Structure 1
Amino acid sequence: MNTMPAAPSMIVIQQRDKAMLDYALAQRSAWGDCRAKVDGAKAWNENVSD
């Protein structure tokens, strides 16, 4: 008998990761980190996930 739950789909994983990235980047910019680094990381993530 398999009692492990089914793994989430790749779409769900990508949506979760994007939400977490947006949150993390918002926190970094809120604490005064270099905006160019934040924008660069976000742009990189958007290109990688497409």
Structure 2
Amino acid sequence: MRQKLDASLGIVVSGLVVLIGSRLLTWWPGVIAGAAMILGALALVAVRRRS
């Protein structure tokens, strides 16, 4: 379980980096991609917890 949590946390952190970096460069596709990575990881965690 610890390894799965670390992987999800890594995805969220990398999504935040992409989101913030793209926002600073005003590159909107990167902002959208970063937000999608974060939401995808959070949705994956929520689905695993329900199972």
Scaled by the length of structure 2, what TM-score is found?
0.57
Structure 2 unmatched ranges of 5 or more? 44-51
Structure 1 unmatched ranges of 5 or more? 1-7
Q: CA RMSD in A?
A: 1.7
Percent identical among aligned pairs is: 8
Higher helix share: 2
Scaled by the length of structure 1, what TM-score is found?
0.57
Runs of 4+ in 1 over 4 A off after TM superposition: none
